[in-house]
Amino acid sequence: MKKEKFRSVLILGGAGFIGSNWARRLLETTEAKVHVFDNLSRPGSRHNLEFLQKVAGKSGRLQITIGDVREQSKVAKVVRHATEIYHFAAQVAVTTAIADPRTDFDVNVGGTFNVLESARQSGNRPFLLFTSTNKVYGDLASRNAVATPTRYFVPGKTPTDESQPLDFHSPYGCSKGAADQYFHDYARIYGLPTAVFRMSCIAGPRQFGNEDQGWVAHFLYSAMTKTPVTVYGSGLQVRDVLYVEDLLRAFEAVQQNQETTGGEIFNVGGGEDNSVSIVELIKQIEELTGERIEFERDRLRAGDQLVYITDFSKLNRLTGWKPEVNVRSTLENMLGWFKKNRELIASVRPVEPATLKIAGTEMGRTA
């Protein structure tokens, strides 16, 4: 039996939703050494670390460093011996970026630069993956969306592929877009095997969800706790949903095929078959849970895309990857996790104004 190549995997933002799921999968399915780096600013992150420690047990394969990507010397230290680096640490909310663009810039651009420079200076040429966002394509206002009773659609327009021109909107879009391009350019100029995922809506267990980040979880958990939500705009806005386990398979696919995926940018999401509008999602949640979602309306947020559906054909072509879990099954899996963790979720989802969220998953508000 062929021995697995030694892997020292660094996950920046590893105590967040995507990071903790990725760390758990690596601990359960590989022999990799897993190093989680996180500043624990996100609600639920401490619980996620406790969960990962239980998964790792006495294997000695889990290392945890509490730190911030803005701390260059600390980043350089944890990067030094990594063979793979997954950069999920970010300021994740459009609203927070508008309120505090300096912090948004320092975390998303400055932090990413620290990661890339540390990797370059290490001399090890580690594989690096960065989770970017569909927000780098702007509001897609040139697409004339037509309203139907349940969703917007764009006549004659296919899902969005990587040829869509960049059009940064909001400080968040600018910071994530700049980081996205830095990752891409470090592959071209310095030969680092980087990959960029421009992601749509990611959902699944271990996602606590709030109004600005993790909208599927936010709506589902609000239904279960009988908490009113706000729908911005008509509610006909459309996104494609990708189950987190499918995203983890995509990480595996690009890492295992880095000879062809290195230096590439990929649009990653559930695709047309897993697209859903806000009102359609509300209906599915109500049918699944038997609970009615109470909501109030507010005006459409600036820069919001009326329709965004991922064309993931490039990733499929280079690696064979495609989504396997549909929206209904995603909701069912999330509901099962909610029922087992009701008290935990309630403790980390306080009803309060959005605050700065630095480490963890990348996703900003998508609808």
Burial class of residue 95 in the structure, from the number of CB atoms within 10 Å of its CB (0-12 exposed, 13-18 middle, 19+ buried): middle
Distance CA 153, CA 157 (A): 9
Measured distance between the N- and C-terminal CA atoms of the chain, rounded to whole angstroms? 48
pLDDT attached to residue 350: 56
Interhelix angle 215-224/327-340, rounded to 10 degrees, is 50
Residue where the block lists tokens 């008509």: 234
pTM comes to 0.92
- Residues 137-146: pLDDT tens digits? 999 988 899 9
Domains of the chain in start order, with CATH, are 8-348 (3.40.50.720)
Contact in structure between 241 and 276 (CB atoms under 8 Å): yes
Check whether 228 has a pLDDT greater than 90. Answer: yes
Active site residue 190: no
Check whether 354 has a pLDDT greater than 70. Answer: no
pLDDT attached to residue 14: 98
pLDDT attached to residue 2: 52
pLDDT attached to residue 320: 98
Q: Which of 86, 137, 152, 172 is catalytic?
A: 172
Contact in structure between 239 and 367 (CB atoms under 8 Å): yes
Query: What are the backbone angles phi and psi of residue 223, rounded to the nearest 5°?
Result: -65, -45
Contact in structure between 188 and 263 (CB atoms under 8 Å): yes
Distance CA 52, CA 64 (A): 10
Confidence band (pLDDT; 50, 70, 90) for 347?
A: confident
